[in-house]
Structure 1
């Protein structure tokens, strides 16, 4: 039996149990501030400025199955972008976007209503004259900061990024800092 931890990673929390940057080590929150379970490790990453679902496990095989690109686990995000995104930008996201490190695989992208979620602390900047749009973006690869780079490449920079699903696992009603422990065969 393997442990699988579903964790709702808050904004500004490092996706590791210790901060290796000695200059900031005592001031930056990390996984050890929220999870007191021994010998579990993240299966994949979520940037410090991103929020949402992070999976942790004590099984190297399960970690590999979740995180390795060859298994193509679909990851879905709620993304608040700067501006009123248009159909052309959504079409580009769905066809694949050219980034410095190559063309992304086609994504699934659609405009959604603002999800019923927690307020971010600190809040996303607000500009009275520029609207924002929420989209759901699903990808099956994991290039570094890929979602942010994709939305910027089509002209709509990401303001807020929340991963709500990885494969069959999802956030459901977990609030930031909460986790749920599952046993996997």
Structure 2
């Protein structure tokens, strides 16, 4: 079997899957014509940025599972200017419902950062400033970044994933991956991502594990 590894810069409003029962919503099928590949993890419909797709099930599992600690980095536009206390909370972990998030790397991004406008644009309130943060997580619970910033009082207005492990939207090798575009990983990227995963799970091992009920 020939394995494929693709990077896709997902636009706002696109589902991270190839089919949808509600046919008027755009899916990956509208952008990617490679058969039998699936997204590694997910990116919400109202989020943008980097998706890795592959037909290698072992790699897909290990890059998606938080126990392997693969980092994912997001650029996050929030409403208001977070205080030092709020930044410290995000860095140390935030209590959300029944769990506390893992420690995260959080920093302010420069105002000069060139980020293309979103369609449709975010809501704008003249009296409330916004700012961009860079947040790196090693887990990916449902809508986690949005829940984290809301929990410390600074709601997320826009969310762009810019890196998955060593893979980035703006590659030093081939430049920036434009919104709505996809490409195969370069040999160097492929080497880095395969080197970061543990020994692949063999199919018979996966079947044995699935026979147990806990």
Q: Which TM-score tier does this pair reach, normalised by the shorter chain? A: over 0.9
Q: Which moved more, 1:44-53 or 1:115-124?
A: 115-124
**2:148 aligned residue:** 150
Cα distance in 2, alignment partners of residues 150 and 2 from structure 1: 36
Matching residue of 1:180 = 183
**Structure 1 residue 101 displacement after superposition:** 2.9
- 1:100 maps to which residue? 97
Distance 1:131 1:6 in 2: 33
How far off is 1:136 after superposition?
A: 0.3
Q: Which residue of 2 aligns with 1:161?
A: 159
* TM-score, normalised relative to structure 2: 0.82
In angstroms, what is the RMSD of aligned CA positions?
Answer: 1.2
CA distance in structure 1 between the partners assigned to 2:19 and 2:98 by the alignment: 29
Q: TM-score, normalised by structure 1?
A: 0.94
Q: How far off its partner does 1:15 sit?
A: 0.6
Tell me the distance in 1 between the aligned counterparts of 2:4 and 2:98: 35
Aligned mates of 2:120, 2:51 — CA distance in 1: 21
Instruction: Give the Cα separation in 1 of the matches to 2:80 and 2:141.
Output: 24
- What is the distance in 2 between the residues matched to 1:101 and 1:165? 28
Three-state SS of the structure 2 residue aligned to 1:123 is coil
Gaps of 5+ in 2: 171-175, 195-214
Runs of 4+ residues over 4 Å off in structure 1: none
Equivalence map 1:107-118=2 (5 Å)? 107-114=104-111, 115-118=113-116
Aligned to 2:136: 138
Which one of 51, 54, 78 corresponds to residue 51 of structure 2?
A: 54
State the Cα distance separating 1:95 from its structure 2 match.
0.4
> Per residue, is there more strand in 1 or in 2?
1
Q: Which has the higher helix share?
A: 2
TM-fit CA distance, 1:131: 0.2
Give a deviation string over 1:118-144, Cα, whole Å, max 9, x none: 210000111111000110000000110
Q: Give ranges in structure 1 of 5+ residues lacking alignment.
A: none
1:164 and 1:13 map into 2 onto residues whose CA distance is 16
